[in-house]
Amino acid sequence: MEHRSRSGPSRAVFALVCAGLLAWTSGCALLPKLTQRSEGPKRHLLENPPPSPDLVGRLSFRSAKAEDTFVDLAPALGVGYVELTLANQHLDPWVPKAGERIVIPRVHLLPSGAREGIIVNTGDMRLYHFSKGERPRSYPIGIAKEGYATPHGETKVVRKKENPIWYPSSSALRDEPTLPRAVPPGPDNRLGAFALYLGWPTYLIHGTNDPRGVGRHSSRGCIRLYPEHIEELFARVPVGTKVRVVHEPVKTGWVDGELYLEVHPDMERALALDESGKLEVEPVRDLRAVVTKAAGRELARVDWARVERVSRLSAGIPVRVTGRTTQAARAERPADERNASR
């Protein structure tokens, strides 16, 4: 469960969110349209997305209240603190202005690879569950804090336990010498009410007695879910279920014939955001290669300027990056790419 490893953007940024990130089917939504529902603006496509094998969930919005703080609002909305902060870089996560429009990021592209069992993606701080004949489910998760890590690779659920006993690790006992050697079920048990034990000894997928740690870097390597989410997952996952842990902060997928791109910050920037509420802008490595591979024969339709905006913002929301005319898109491509396609 606990293993060590080394390991208020301005309002102009919000304009970038609206213009470059929250794209409507007919173009880009500008700030007034996003914030003034009373005039009946177009709904965002991802508020009611068309069926897609690459997408789960839907986007939604709400108005900020004077008493809102993201660390308390995230559990109430069922999303993670970091992803809520990323999607709302125009707001102060501790004192959002009453009446401001909050983006609720409940929509995500699925990680790559086989879609079966459980996929834990530390890159977007989400757990995905796949059950044959059903739509996938997605849950925000708490992951390892600085100085700790969760192994990546494949394992399986080897045991399930309701009301588990928590045995604090040596590092937990070193940090908190007053902890008992065993903590019975109850309000002091950090595993919460349900636990899935993995083939990796000491690593679990479990609940929590402090929901504010979900969607953040808060554990010593285990995967934490909100109490209501782990209860649902626990009931749906049999022993033997495959578990794959990946790190994919950049994801692509197709929705209604268009290529979408979802970018999250890398681990270091995500940790810094978790601590400060601010995101440093850095280029995403190998992004062009990822988008080129995903686009395939539709490469000429990629809007590379939009790809760059999505990359810079890293807001963790799927954004359409195709749709330009073939001639305009080709004009934006480097000369070597244009020549190679002839």
The residues annotated with a catalytic role in the active site are 206, 222
CA dihedral 108, 109, 114, 117 (to 10 degrees): 10
Alpha carbon distance 173, 181 (integer Å) = 8
Alpha carbon distance 292, 217 (integer Å) = 32
Q: Are the C-beta atoms of residues 70 and 86 closer than 8 Å to each other?
A: no
Q: Are the C-beta atoms of residues 82 and 277 closer than 8 Å to each other?
A: no
Alpha carbon distance 139, 171 (integer Å) = 28
Q: Are the C-beta atoms of residues 193 and 230 closer than 8 Å to each other?
A: yes
First-to-last alpha carbon distance for the chain, in angstroms, is 54
**Half-sphere exposure for 28 (CA within 13 Å, toward CB):** 18
Angle at 27 between CA 104 and CA 291, to 5 degrees: 75
**Can you spell out the DSSP letters for 299-327?**
GGGB-HHHHHHHHHH--SS-EE-B-S-HH
Lateral strand order in the sheet of 258-263? 250-255, 258-263, 319-320
